[in-house]
Structure 1
Amino acid sequence: MKKNSLLFIFIGLFLIACHNDYTPKPKAYLRLDYPAPKYQTIKYDLPFSFDKNIIADPLILKQLNSDNLSYGINLNYPDLKGTVFLTYKAIENDQKNLNDFLRDAQKFTFEHTKMADEIPAYPYENRKQRVYGMLSVVKGNVASPAQFYVTDSTEHFLTGSLYFQTRPNYDSILPAASYIQKDMRHLMETLKWK
């Protein structure tokens, strides 16, 4: 009798324990809060000035050659693990190298077509400041999700490329890439040649 009672109690507990109402969990989304951008004008001994986001580390300036015709500048975003690499080159008097600079900048962007899903390009023109260029947003698992170039067509040429310190996974870097792309657009809009 004891065995039967224990068996019924065990079966009863088993049936009660196995009866769960399944409630689906709501989808969760990663919440990334980036600070609202605050900009300050960068005025170094360069042939141009621009506004940069204050969360970007101070500029690291490197003179690439001794004749002051080209510079390399890095805008580092440590919290986002990204860097915008800027390269400035002076256009020579005959403007022959302008075509080379434009070809190289566009070639760099289109080298990403193998891995990119889409590459929308956004032309930029500011006649008052004589700044003309293009911002390209590369969508997909690519090394550089955004590049731009700007020029005055006579003396100055500046390119910028965004890279992250991580393996390219478009879905993972998209929030940070979008944030920095807005800063790149702001840089283009505030650029002034000297």
Structure 2
Amino acid sequence: MLKKIISGALFATVFLCVVSCKDDVLPKPASQLRLDYPEAEYAHYETDCPFTFDVNTEGSVKQNDGCNLSINYPKMKATIYLTYKPVRNNIDSLLADAQKLTYKHVVKADDITEMPFLNAKNKVFGMLYQVNGNAATNTRFYVTDSTRHFIDCSVYFYAKPNFDSIMPATSYVRNDLQNLMESLRWK
């Protein structure tokens, strides 16, 4: 009798294994993370500070101490930090500090591209840095009129720096940063 129970259980196990095993493979559609952002719309930003610029309406501007501003992008977890400093016979040290801060990222950066900026009509001169790779900031710039005003500006994301993952947000904010630099005017 014990032989019948064991052989019955063995038969049932083999039967279930044969019946339940199928070779049907269902293809899975290719997918990628899709990050869509609205087309940028810019509004003129005016303050008591000695400069004006255009800002994306998706960002919210907060004036910190003095004429230092932060432009927050909550949907992208990013912030643009703008630091204003008056020039008082210290243009060389201001330029050196801005360049040194940019090149601190060389450890994590794959590449740093420098793009000189010159708007002689409005006396806005500077440099835009595009930092590629897993650096803490991916875009920075500084602008000055060389005699009275100096602005240092950078963007930071509140996420672990993974360049491939945040590329759409990086490109979007980089365009805003470049537009800010190009629309900046001294009062």
SS of alignment partner, residue 90 of structure 2 = helix
Counterpart secondary structure, 1:58? strand
Partner residue in 2 for 1:137: 130
Q: Which of 8, 23, 27 is matched with 2:30 structurally?
A: 27
- Whether 1:121 aligns to 2:104 is no
How far did residue 178 of structure 1 move? 1.4
The reply to whether residue 61 of structure 1 matches residue 68 of structure 2 is no
Which aligned pairs between 1:10-49 and structure 2 lie closer than 5 A? 11=14, 14-49=17-52
Q: Over alpha carbons, which structure has the higher Rg?
A: 2
> Aligned equivalents of 2:69 and 2:186: distance in 1?
16
- Equivalences for residues 165-180 of structure 1 within 5 A: 165-180=158-173
SS of 2:25 mapped into structure 1: coil
Secondary structure of residue in 1 paired with 2:61: coil
**1:8 Cα shift?**
7.5
- Corresponding position of 1:98: 91
CA distance in 1, matches of 2:30, 2:112: 30
Q: How far apart, in 2, do the equivalents of 1:168 and 1:138 lie? A: 12
**2:105 — aligned with what?**
112
Q: Which residue is 1:81 aligned to?
A: 77
1:68 is aligned to none
Normalised to the residue count of structure 2, the TM-score between the two structures is 0.87
**Deviation (angstroms), 1:20:** 2.1
Count, aligned residues: 184
Question: Percent identity at matched positions?
Answer: 44
**3-state SS in 1 of match to 2:102:** helix
Q: What is the alpha-carbon distance in structure 1 between the residues aligned to residue 9 and residue 83 of structure 2?
A: 81
Give, in whole Å, the separation in 1 of the partners of 2:53 and 2:131: 24
- How big is each residue's C-alpha offset from its partner over 1:28-58, in whole Å with a ceiling of 9 and x where there is no partner? 1111111111111111111110000011113
Gaps of 5+ in 1: 64-70
Pairwise CA RMSD: 2.2
Following the alignment from structure 1 to structure 2, what is the Cα–Cα distance between the partners of residues 73 and 110?
Answer: 23
d(CA) in 2 for partners of 1:167, 1:61: 25
Q: CA deviation at 1:12?
A: 5.9
| Superposition deviation, residue 140 in structure 1 | 1.7
